[in-house]
């Protein structure tokens, strides 16, 4: 199976369509199944992340085009991610039916 090397992020800002490639760097992944924006407080600073749920059961955190963190917890492909009401934590689900409620410290 071929591995995924990058994700394409598309945004629309001030009337312009932008496309940026996000590189996984040293992280090994297989396929992206879902994306979710998330704001999080980290050491007193608000961070804007994009989360990607992957076929290998991991969730990857993106800052701009850089993959900065990976979380493991699912045994199956991550098929859904939803921000919680507080917007600094999230819930994720996998294809085997498991759900993880992540707190703000992940």
Q: What is the pLDDT of residues 17-66, one digit of tens each?
A: 777 777 666 665 556 667 777 877 666 677 788 888 888 888 988 887 78
Question: Based on C-alpha coordinates, what's the Rg of the chain?
Answer: 14
CA atoms within 13 A on the CB side of 7: 27
Going across the sheet that includes 32-42, the strands are: 6-13, 16-23, 66-72, 58-63, 45-54, 32-42
Residue 53: closest CA among 62, 64, 41: 62
Mind listing the pLDDT tens digit for each residue in 59-85? 988 887 788 888 999 988 888 888 887
């Amino acid at each position: 199976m071929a591995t995924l090397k990058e994700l394409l992020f598309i945004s629309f800002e001030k009337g312009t369509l932008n496309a940026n490639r996000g590189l996984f760097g040293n992280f090994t992944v297989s396929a992206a199944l879902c994306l979710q924006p998330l704001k999080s407080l980290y050491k007193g600073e608000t961070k804007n992340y994009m989360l990607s749920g992957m076929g290998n059961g991991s969730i990857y955190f993106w800052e701009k085009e850089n993959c900065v963190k990976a979380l493991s917890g699912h045994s199956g492909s991550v098929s859904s991610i939803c921000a919680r009401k507080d917007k600094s934590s999230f819930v994720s689900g996998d294809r085997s039916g498991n759900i993880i409620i992540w707190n703000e410290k992940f």
